[in-house]
């Protein structure tokens, strides 16, 4: 059985939407940030809601533009963490980059953080309509 099939079976059971809403109400924070901003969580909630409203309707659906922004934000967050860790190591013990390369990487990291902030602002703003 694939993960998708397992999810479908779980969502057919009564009460899953209520369970998801309860868990989200606990305001859990995962590595990617608040649970409500997690793409997998949003997709699980969407599927549960869809299944509860229309049990015979297929639950596979294209991600929305907000879902795509959440995915991009999550992936960018991982890259930011990795670049930050690399820069910290290079500052303490230069091994791979010369001074100019370190400065350029720092500028790139600043731009990535700024872009991540814009994505999060857009996600939050667009999510207010939900």
pLDDT tens per residue, range 114-124: 999 999 999 99
Same domain for 72 and 14:
no
Same domain for 130 and 67:
yes
29 forms beta bridges with 34
Segment holding 75, helix H or strand E: helix 65-92
Same domain for 67 and 98:
yes
Q: What is d(CA 44, CA 117) in angstroms, rounded to the nearest whole number? A: 25
Q: What is d(CA 81, CA 108) in angstroms, rounded to the nearest whole number? A: 13
Same domain for 73 and 129:
yes
Task: Out of 41, 61, 81, pick the residue that ends a domain.
Answer: 61
Which one of 14-23, 51-60, 61-70 scores highest in mean pLDDT? Answer: 61-70
Tell me the whole-structure pTM to 2 decimals. 0.53
Q: What is the pLDDT of residues 12-54, one digit of tens each?
A: 554 555 666 666 666 666 666 666 667 776 777 677 677 666 6
The range of the structural domain enclosing residue 49 comes to 1-61
Same domain for 71 and 130:
yes
Same domain for 50 and 82:
no
Q: Which of 1, 97, 7 is nearest to 47 (CA)?
A: 7
**Averaged pLDDT of the chain:** 76
């Amino acid at each position: 059985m694939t993960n998708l099939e397992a999810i479908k079976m779980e969502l057919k059971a009564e009460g899953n939407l209520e369970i998801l809403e309860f868990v989200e109400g606990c305001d859990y924070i995962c590595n990617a940030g608040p649970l409500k901003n997690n793409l997998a969580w949003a997709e699980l909630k969407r599927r549960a809601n869809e299944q509860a409203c229309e049990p015979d309707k297929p639950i596979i659906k294209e991600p929305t533009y907000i879902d795509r922004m959440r995915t991009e934000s999550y992936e960018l967050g991982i890259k930011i963490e990795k670049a930050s860790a690399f820069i910290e190591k290079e500052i303490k013990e230069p091994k791979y980059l010369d001074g100019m390369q370190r400065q350029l990487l720092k500028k790139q990291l600043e731009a990535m953080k700024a872009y991540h902030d814009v994505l999060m602002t857009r996600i939050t703003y667009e999510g207010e309509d939900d």
